[in-house]
Amino acid sequence: MTPREQLARGLAALSLSGLDLPAIAQEQLLTFAALLGKWNKVYNLTALRDESQVISHHLLDSLAVLPHLGTAHWLADIGSGGGLPGIPLAIARPEMNVALVESNQKKSAFEQQAKIELGLANVSVHCARVEAWQPSEKPDVVISRAFSDLAEFVRLSGPLLAEGGALLAMKGVHPYEEIAQLPAGWRVAEVTPLQVPGVEGARHLVRVERG
């Protein structure tokens, strides 16, 4: 199966959750997948080495959270590595501003190159540690994918979040122990199982809010 066929089949499965992407977005996703595969050989952007899994384990995994972003207009992707999930989300939601925050210079350089090559005017790249990043406007959603445990994510990212906003942590199995360690003043509003086409392991999205 070609990457194009794999993406089309995966998007069709995700469309059951309300996801419907125009052709131009699908082309951008395929271009991003090719860029990611090319750069990953040299710069070790992700731990995934099987290029046949880039569509499912990176792109579709990122896009599976789209129905749970609500009306977010300003999203920060913390510890975004190879631009995941931020770049696929920015492609799918061009009206949403997306900040990619990554402290590794090589990974940040890749994100900047992807932004340029894909023409993503709604993306900004910030080579900085989370605790040092000071945005002029606080995002209403802060998301992470394999960044840290929940307590650390909340400790570092909580100060960035706008009032009424949400922290979204992309996890594998249901993180019962991590949830139990949440700092005071924060609560888990929802834990949603995600069905990602082509990914067999468990996937969950944990929504954390003040309260």
Question: Per-residue pLDDT tens for 9-20?
Answer: 999 998 766 577
- What pLDDT shows up at residue 51? 67
- Whether 61 and 196 have beta carbons less than 8 Å apart is answered as yes
What ranges do the domains of the chain cover? 3-210
Confidence of residue 54 (pLDDT cuts 50, 70, 90): confident
Give the up-direction half-sphere exposure of residue 146: CA atoms within 13 A in the CB hemisphere: 15
- What pLDDT shows up at residue 115? 98
pLDDT in tens, 156-198: 999 999 999 999 999 999 999 999 999 999 999 999 999 999 9
Of the candidates 146, 145, 142, 164, the residue with the CA atom closest to the CA atom of residue 155: 142
> End-to-end alpha-carbon separation of the chain, Å?
47
User: Which own/partner pairs from 45-53 qualify as long-range (CB within 8 Å, at least 24 positions apart)?
Assistant: 45/81, 45/82, 45/106, 45/107, 45/110, 46/81, 46/82, 46/84, 52/6, 53/198
Give the up-direction half-sphere exposure of residue 51: CA atoms within 13 A in the CB hemisphere: 14
Asked whether the predicted pLDDT for residue 46 surpasses 80, the reply is no
- What pLDDT shows up at residue 79? 94
Q: What is the pTM of this model?
A: 0.94
- What pLDDT shows up at residue 49? 59
pLDDT in tens, 138-162: 999 999 997 889 999 999 999 999 9
If you average pLDDT over every residue of the chain, what do you get? 92
Asked whether the predicted pLDDT for residue 207 surpasses 70, the reply is yes
- What pLDDT shows up at residue 15? 75
- Whether 59 and 33 have beta carbons less than 8 Å apart is answered as yes
Of 44 and 172, the structure prediction assigns the larger pLDDT to: 172
- Whether 145 and 78 have beta carbons less than 8 Å apart is answered as no
3-210 carries CATH number 1.10.3720.10: no
pLDDT in tens, 18-30: 577 899 999 999 9
Amino acid letter for position 99: A
